[in-house]
Structures are given as C-alpha cells and as structure tokens.
Structure 1
Amino acid sequence: MILHCMKGTTWEERKHKPAWGNRNIRAHGCIHCSTIEYFWRVAPNFKDMEEELVLLCIDENKLKAEVRYEDEDNCGRFYPHVYGLINNDAVIAVLPFTKDEHGNYVKNQELAHIEDK
C-alpha cells in the first residue's frame, strides 16, 4: 500500500471519478506518493496547510498505471511515483491527516503497526 496526501475538498471532487491525476501529472510529470514507512519524512511538507487533508491508501496491485520507486534526491530512500492516472478502485481507504497541537503529523491508528524508517 502507498499513500497520497491531498486536500479533502480535492478528494470530494475526485472520489466519484473513475480515475484522476491529470493536474499532478501536468505539474510534476507523475503523481507523488509515499510508502507508509517514509510518510513521516514527507508529512512536514503539509504542516502549514490550513485546509483539511486526507491520506489516500492505494493498493499498488490494483493500479492500472505504472509505479516506479525513485530516489529523486539521492538520499537513499525510494518513493513511489505513479506515471499515469490513479484509478479510484485502487483507493482502498481514505484517512484523515491528523495533527497534534503543534501542527505536526500524527500517524493514524490504522497505520500504527507499520514501523517508520
């Protein structure tokens, strides 16, 4: 399973479509995702977002688009990038992006059994 974070309002627009991601692909060439183990490393990028965020839990095996694990920053960690639209039947859960009182990401209880790396 891989994660993709987005605004809750954006998910509301996209959740009834068969697939989505054209805006992401136009802007970045792919749809950036994360493994659960590394999500805590990218979560600070969303700290100052005022809007409610959600985490899409995506089953890679159900994706029709290609997923490539890439180390764009040469940091030794490989993150999943989806090269094509995400078909909504691959989204197996939608979780809230939870924060503590300081605005820091708090790992969802549903993901707590997976160790951070």
Structure 2
Amino acid sequence: MVGRMARILHIAFVAEWEAAKAARAYRISTRGQSLDDGARFIHASRPEQVSLVANIAYADVTDPLCLLVIDTERLVSAVCDEDLDGTGTTFPHIYGPLNPDAVVDVLPYVRGADGRWPEVAPQAVS
C-alpha cells in the first residue's frame, strides 16, 4: 500500500468518464482495456509521468481526453506504487474500480501546438 501519495492522475476519454459517473464506478484500466475484460488494475500516474504515458499510449488519439485528479485517501480500492516492468520507475496502480467521489477534479487534457501531449505541473493537481 502507498502511504500518503496524496493525488494521482488517470488519463481518461471524456465519454468514458461521463459514463462512469452515471454508473457510479470507473472501470477502465487504460486505453482499450477494462477491469471487466480481465485487466488487474487501473493505471495512474504522478503529474511528471502523464505526458510520457500520453505520448506513448495515446499518441494517435483524436477524441477528447481529460485527467482525473484522484485523492488516494478517498479511494475504496487499494492503490499500490509498483515497478511492474523492471525499469526502476514506479507507477500508482488502483486495484479495483475507481469510485467517482475519489475524483476531486477533472482537467481538460489538450495537445500542445507541437502536437504532443504536454507536461503537467505538480501544482495543477495540488
């Protein structure tokens, strides 16, 4: 379990987040994968990791994206900081559905003028 990780981020399609609010549970692990399809956890990031993930996993996306700002202390599912691919970099993983009331803010995430997904400043989520 993670100690006081405070706030973490999840990259979401706006339409999927809207549907999750209505269903009272967000179950999307990452692009094209869901807890319902066998994914073990929901991928999340710290602010400094968002653009790296977005520019790899969402490079060709044209649909609107948003960043879910998650207060880890409000989560009903466990969150663990893990290095699952042995790179020496850990990412927060939520083991179970994301309860919408743990999402304390939703930020629009828009490509920069250079066509890349931009860096996220830590103060944007504090």
TM-score (norm 1): 0.84
Distance 1:7 1:72 in 2: 24
Whether the aligned pair in 2 keeps the contact of 1:17 and 1:88 (CA below 8 Å) is no
The one-letter amino acid of 2:112's match is D
Q: For residue 24 of structure 1, what is the aligned residue in structure 2?
A: 34
Q: For residue 75 of structure 2, what is the aligned residue in structure 1?
A: 63
Question: How far is 1:112 from its partner?
Answer: 5.2
Q: For residue 16 of structure 2, what is the aligned residue in structure 1?
A: 10
Cα deviation per residue 1:45-77 (whole Å; 9 max; x = unaligned)?
Answer: 212101111110100000000011111121111
Distance 1:4 1:24 in 2: 13
State the 4+ residue runs in structure 1 displaced beyond 4 angstroms. Answer: none
Distance 1:106 1:41 in 2: 9
Please report the RMSD computed on the Cα atoms of aligned residues, expressed in angstroms: 1.9
The one-letter amino acid of 2:9's match is L
* Alignment partner of 2:93 out of 59, 77, 81: 81
Distance 1:27 1:97 in 2: 27
Aligned pairs, number: 112
TM-score (norm 2): 0.79
